[in-house]
């Protein structure tokens, strides 16, 4: 089944509340997917590039990481450990060296971004929100996912959001049927998948298209022609959010817009605590139609 949520703030004054609003939406969708949960949040730009890392043994893996990584890549880095995750800030040009450093460690790189951080784990949405303190995070926009696994195992790497390029991420409700073919095609184009998950392939597809010069809107339009299966996608980029549903549109989706925000939910329930929701414009995104909201 799976539940997905997204929130794009139009009013800057609401930014300190993004984490609290989005966490509440996510927890409300627990019934749709209690096995894992995750959130991608677009906060302030850090010094340099931010890598969000995950380890099953954070006590060992992240111990002394700032010094070891700094020495290995010849740059000053900062490390902020949050439960099983750590957010590392490093100079842009050292990212390849950092990837080399992590390749033989018990550490996974979940995302890289100027502004985006991803937190995802196995467990109920409530527990994931609590472990990472998502409720107190600030930002301009974010997306979240509660997972009921179908296409791959219940693991941290199988949880959403998936990020396959700088500041890009994807959450998905549905299942794809041509992901094995696409996984091979995208690997040949430099987008090698880390998991067997179908959604990661969709994320790579969007990254490949945008990396080849397509706009977010054009990349989303491309999913309608090139992806086979059921999907409601919500995509995050540095600038904003995008939404697209497959032409059959059996995976639910509802949106709400006020002067302050644009919100996405698998169900209306997800909106019930948003400010001013009673007066919001609420509608269902049309099948096979691309929607996106971006900062200029």
Partner 1 sequence: MSTLDLAETSLRDVNAALQSLNGTTNQTAWEVLNPRGAHALAVGLDAPVEVRVKGSTGYYCAGMNAEATIHVEGSAGPGVAENMMSGTVVIEGDASQYAGATGHGGLLVVKGNASSRCGISMKGIDIVVHGNIGHMAAFMAQKGNLVVLGDTGEALGDSIYEARLFVRGSVKSLGADCIEKEMRPEHLELLAGLLERAGADATPEEFRRYGSARQLYHFHVDNAGAY
Binding residues for partner 1, rule: CB under 8 A, are 247, 249-250, 252, 254, 267-272, 278, 282-284, 286-287
Q: Which is nearer to partner 1, 111 or 266 (CB)?
A: 266
Q: Which is nearer to partner 1, 179 or 245 (CB)?
A: 245
Q: How far is CA 119 from CA 52, 88, 163, in A?
A: 8, 13, 11
Q: How many CB atoms lie within 10 A of CB 215?
A: 14
Minimum separation from the CB atom of position 5 to partner 1 (A): 13
Residue reference for tokens 């992806």: 227
Minimum separation from the CB atom of position 258 to partner 1 (A): 15
Residue 12 sits at φ, ψ, to 5 deg, of: -60, -35
Buried b (16+ CB within 10 A) or exposed e, 238-264: bbbbbbbbbeebebbbbbbebeebbbb
Minimum separation from the CB atom of position 275 to partner 1 (A): 14
Cβ–Cβ < 8 Å for 288, 224:
yes
Minimum separation from the CB atom of position 174 to partner 1 (A): 14
Residue 226 sits at φ, ψ, to 5 deg, of: -105, -20
Minimum separation from the CB atom of position 167 to partner 1 (A): 32
Active-site residue set: 2
Where helices occur in 4-159 by DSSP H, the ranges are 18-28, 58-61, 65-73, 95-103, 125-132
Q: Which is nearer to partner 1, 42 or 271 (CB)?
A: 271
Q: Which is nearer to partner 1, 20 or 249 (CB)?
A: 249
Q: Which is nearer to partner 1, 84 or 173 (CB)?
A: 173
Task: Round to whole Å and give the CA distance between 73 and 76.
Answer: 9
Residue 212: helix, strand or coil by DSSP?
A: coil
Angle at 207 between CA 187 and CA 237, to 5 degrees: 155
């Amino acid at each position: 089944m799976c539940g997905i949520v997204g929130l794009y703030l139009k009013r800057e004054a609401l930014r300190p509340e993004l984490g609290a609003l989005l966490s509440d939406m996510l927890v409300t969708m627990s019934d749709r997917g209690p096995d894992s949960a995750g959130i991608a949040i677009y906060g302030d730009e850090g010094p340099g590039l931010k890598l969000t890392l995950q380890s099953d043994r954070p006590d060992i893996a992240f111990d002394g990481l700032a010094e070891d990584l700094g020495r290995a890549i010849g740059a000053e880095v900062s490390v902020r450990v949050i439960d099983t995750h750590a957010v590392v800030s490093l100079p842009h040009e050292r990212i390849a060296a950092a990837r080399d450093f992590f390749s033989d460690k018990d550490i996974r790189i979940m995302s890289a971004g100027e502004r985006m951080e991803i937190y995802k784990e196995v467990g109920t949405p409530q527990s994931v929100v609590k472990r990472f303190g998502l409720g107190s995070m600030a930002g301009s926009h974010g997306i979240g996912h509660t997972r009921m696994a179908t296409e791959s195992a219940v693991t941290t790497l199988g949880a959403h959001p998936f990020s396959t390029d700088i500041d890009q991420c994807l959450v998905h409700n549905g299942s794809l049927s041509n992901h094995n073919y696409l996984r091979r095609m995208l690997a040949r184009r430099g987008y090698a998948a880390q998991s067997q998950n179908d959604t990661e392939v969709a994320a790579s597809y969007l990254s490949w298209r945008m990396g080849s010069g397509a706009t977010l809107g054009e990349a989303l339009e491309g999913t309608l022609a090139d992806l086979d299966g059921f999907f409601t996608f919500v995509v995050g980029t540095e600038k904003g959010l995008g939404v697209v549903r497959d032409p059959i549109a059996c995976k639910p989706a509802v949106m709400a817009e006020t002067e302050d925000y644009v919100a996405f939910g698998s169900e209306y329930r997800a909106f019930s605590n948003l400010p001013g929701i009673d007066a919001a414009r609420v509608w269902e995104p049309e099948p096979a139609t691309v929607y996106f909201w971006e900062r200029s």
